Structure 1
Amino acid sequence: MSTRLLLVFVPDEDIPIARELARRCASRIWVRPAEGEMESLACVVQARYVERLVDALERELGERPGFCTIILPTEAVIPPLYETAATAHPRSGNDRPPSRLESFFSRDRLSTEEMYDDVEETVRIRYSFLFTVLISALIAGLGMRSGQTAIVIGAMVIAPFLGPSIGMAMAATIGDHRLGRRSSLALAFGAIACVTFMALIGRFITIDPTVPELLSRTRVNPADVVLALASGGAGVIAFSKGSSSSLIGVMIAVALVPPLAAAGLLFGSGHGHLALGALILFATNLVCINVAGILTFLFQGLAPRNWRVTAGTLMVWVLLLVALMGLTLPRFLA
């Protein structure tokens, strides 16, 4: 069973409160003195209760001087903890009990704090992010130009935009404007850099727009929308469980860099109409990732700070998807 080790540091006089809160969620608890007039509380918590305990600690002790909570993954616990009815911790107060669907989807997922920490590292605009975007675009562009699928897949695995796109979905779900702004800026910056760089490349090399690998990135079919929605949901599930190996398949299934690289090459070589089609494919994939991502996060029990904001944001993404499908449906039917 997935567990976490929580280290909680509080002033001496607050240790009874911390201990009582930990008893409601933790299976094993230890208390020891810390530096100064502080106490440290260590507890082993089943993954499904981490977020409940962290929220309770933050609510009750967040304003105390020196308060700090550290969440650590555990490789093993001996003797082991088994997930049974006997290990279940009932909710207290007016907390709404989770539905069966929420319990099923949220089992063994990372807490919101852990996911936030993971995604925050991917939305920082640094030279390493820009370098990764340009290298990924160059590999994808040259692979599409020569019709070599294996090279394009290599660029998909790099996937520099997967983190910002999942960050946008997570921000919309919990209503975190700061994370949403940073994710959007990182993705917009990377997308503009990608298209600009590949447009410059396209001016100096010969581009054949009829190459299947390149041409396929200029069209949006209904199957592409279904694939992007399914991949977006799978990506969020893999991300929320910390399954980095599962994310590789998602990167390949719904890639954002190849359409942008194709758009840049086609713009640079004078095929503006096809380049617009590639940008529409990129936008469709991005919108699908966010629609599926928000719904999946909600199914996993991520609590929005404001349901009206979350529902409104989801509706905007759905309307954008409908609009994009409206732009591409006539071409598909023709």
Structure 2
Amino acid sequence: MALQLVEVTADHGHVDTLVALGEHKGAIDVYADERSDMDRCLVRIVISTKRVQELLDGIQAAIGAQADWRAVVLPIQASVPSPGPSVKAVSDDEPRKFSFASITVSREAIWNEINKGARLDLNFIILSVLSTITAAIGLLTDNVAVVIGAMVIAPLLGPNLAFAFGTALGDRGLMVRAFGTNVLGIAISLALSYAIGALWTGPLDSPELVSRTVVGYESIALALAAGAAAVLSLTTGLSSTLVGVMVAVALLPPAATLGIMLGAGNYFAAGSAALLLAVNIVCVNLVAQLVFVVKGIGPRTWAQKQASRPARYINAISWFVLLMGLITGIWYAQQSGGVAPNQGFEAPSTDNLTGN
């Protein structure tokens, strides 16, 4: 059974409340260190990872109005002796219950992790520039390994997941930061790849490049599945699976393809790349928001839930309407004879680029 250590520092008068909360939530061990000379207490609670969220919510409900307290959640790599039979999460006499809605990472831990993806700083800008250059080189030279490298960097996945998480919590500040970071990241990718496409004098027939101008219904299914996997990896603590998600639903290669085709003057192919980019963004945001809600991740208090409910509905409906529009766009593109996977595009000649 995975365990975590919750350390709470608060006024001395809250020690009995904190100890009772730990015992009520099924803690493995509760230890209270009372400092009579400092009028403070330190309560250490060893508890199952699956029950950390319940404990944190209980602490906030009990002493959240007090400003002078703090709870810190720490991972436990090993615990000796092992928890006895009396504290097993599932006893031998009870049937095992599997619930998709259960989470193994607390709301606060997810927020702390996902907030990094919404942070707009120099590191994000540098990563966006480097990953765009990497993706463009890989696409133009048909180097699969280089394209995958750009996918793994994945600076655009974080802001989209942060936006969906902010929607689930009703955190407008996080949503605004994530939206701004996402827009700037896409703008950097488009501007840089546009310049590369305008300067490129070779043919645009690389299979890696042309494949990003082909979009079908399978693209929607892939983006939905990968978006759901991304959220599940966050809520279950399996962050290592995010690497696979980054490759499966990479946003940067379609964005780089869009800029390259615009720079080369091939607007039809650019439209197809834009459609693929839009499919990935819409599907990731829609399914991520739905999975967060199904997993029970939302505001803590009833008042916060009521206040954020209209925004969640509006966002979900908006993403769904956009998805329906994209499905219509895919159908129209197929009916009008979209770009085939083996069809290449010729770049403008050097004479055209120099104006001669």
Structure 2: how far apart are the matches of 1:82 and 1:319? 52
Give the corresponding residue for 2:345.
none
Give the corresponding residue for 2:6.
6
- Is the 1:207–1:266 contact (alpha carbons within 8 Å) kept by the matching residues of 2? no
**Structure 1 residue 24: deviation in Å?**
1.7
Pick one of 322, 327, 332 that aligns with 1:320.
322
Give the corresponding residue for 1:91.
none
Pick one of 195, 198, 215 that aligns with 2:193.
198
- Is the 2:28–2:87 contact (alpha carbons within 8 Å) kept by the matching residues of 1? no
Between 1:320-329 and 1:209-218, the stretch displaced more is: 209-218
Partner secondary structure for residue 163 of structure 1: helix
The answer to whether 1:208 aligns with 2:210 is no
Give the corresponding residue for 2:30.
29
Aligned CA RMSD, in angstroms, stands at 2.0
Structure 2: how far apart are the matches of 1:192 and 1:84? 56
Structure 2: how far apart are the matches of 1:57 and 1:256? 40
Q: Which amino acid aligns with 1:299?
A: V
Matches within 5 A, 1:155-194: 155-194=150-189
**Structure 1 residue 87: deviation in Å?**
4.6
Structure 2: how far apart are the matches of 1:228 and 1:83? 43
Matches within 5 A, 1:33-44: 33=34, 36-44=38-46
Structure 2: how far apart are the matches of 1:158 and 1:235? 15
Give the corresponding residue for 1:238.
233
Pick one of 52, 55, 68 that aligns with 1:53.
55
Pick one of 79, 85, 93 that aligns with 1:77.
79
Give the corresponding residue for 1:20.
20
Q: If the length of structure 1 is used for normalisation, what is the TM-score?
A: 0.90
Give the corresponding residue for 1:96.
none
Structure 1: how far apart are the matches of 2:166 and 2:293? 12
Q: Which amino acid aligns with 1:298?
A: V
Pick one of 253, 256, 261 that aligns with 1:266.
261
Pick one of 297, 300, 306 that aligns with 1:302.
297
Residue-by-residue CA offset, 1:44-73 (whole Å, 9 max, x unaligned): 111111111111111221222421010111
Pick one of 102, 106, 118 that aligns with 1:106.
102
**Structure 1 residue 280: deviation in Å?**
1.8
Q: Which amino acid aligns with 1:19?
A: V
Structure 2: how far apart are the matches of 1:164 and 1:207? 34
Give the corresponding residue for 1:227.
222
Structure showing greater radius of gyration is 2
Q: Which amino acid aligns with 2:231?
A: V
- Is the 1:207–1:265 contact (alpha carbons within 8 Å) kept by the matching residues of 2? no
- Is the 2:217–2:330 contact (alpha carbons within 8 Å) kept by the matching residues of 1? no
Partner secondary structure for residue 69 of structure 1: strand
Structure 2: how far apart are the matches of 1:127 and 1:260? 20
Structure 2: how far apart are the matches of 1:82 and 1:134? 53
Structure 1: how far apart are the matches of 2:126 and 2:228? 28
Partner secondary structure for residue 218 of structure 1: coil
Structure 2: how far apart are the matches of 1:84 and 1:316? 49
The answer to whether 1:217 aligns with 2:212 is yes
Pick one of 101, 120, 125 that aligns with 1:125.
120
- Is the 2:5–2:76 contact (alpha carbons within 8 Å) kept by the matching residues of 1? yes
Return closer, same or farther for 1:214/1:84 CA change in 2, 3 Å cut-off: farther
Return closer, same or farther for 1:80/1:105 CA change in 2, 3 Å cut-off: farther
Pick one of 283, 286, 289 that aligns with 2:281.
286
Return closer, same or farther for 1:265/1:132 CA change in 2, 3 Å cut-off: same
Q: If the length of structure 2 is used for normalisation, what is the TM-score?
A: 0.85
Return closer, same or farther for 1:87/1:244 CA change in 2, 3 Å cut-off: closer
Structure 2: how far apart are the matches of 1:33 and 1:208? 74
Between 1:46-55 and 1:270-279, the stretch displaced more is: 270-279
**Structure 1 residue 82: deviation in Å?**
6.8
Return closer, same or farther for 1:8/1:129 CA change in 2, 3 Å cut-off: same
Which ranges of structure 2 fall in alignment gaps of 5 or more residues? 91-96, 300-304, 338-356
Structure 2: how far apart are the matches of 1:322 and 1:207? 37
Structure 2: how far apart are the matches of 1:202 and 1:261? 9
- Is the 1:202–1:264 contact (alpha carbons within 8 Å) kept by the matching residues of 2? yes
**Structure 1 residue 29: deviation in Å?**
0.4
Partner secondary structure for residue 117 of structure 2: coil
Return closer, same or farther for 1:325/1:84 CA change in 2, 3 Å cut-off: farther
- Is the 1:6–1:44 contact (alpha carbons within 8 Å) kept by the matching residues of 2? yes
Q: Which amino acid aligns with 1:54?
A: L
**Structure 1 residue 270: deviation in Å?**
1.4
**Structure 1 residue 126: deviation in Å?**
0.8
Which ranges of structure 1 fall in alignment gaps of 5 or more residues? 89-99
- Is the 1:165–1:290 contact (alpha carbons within 8 Å) kept by the matching residues of 2? yes
Pick one of 331, 334, 339 that aligns with 1:332.
334
Partner secondary structure for residue 106 of structure 1: coil
Aligned residues: 321
Give aligned-pair identity as a percent. 29
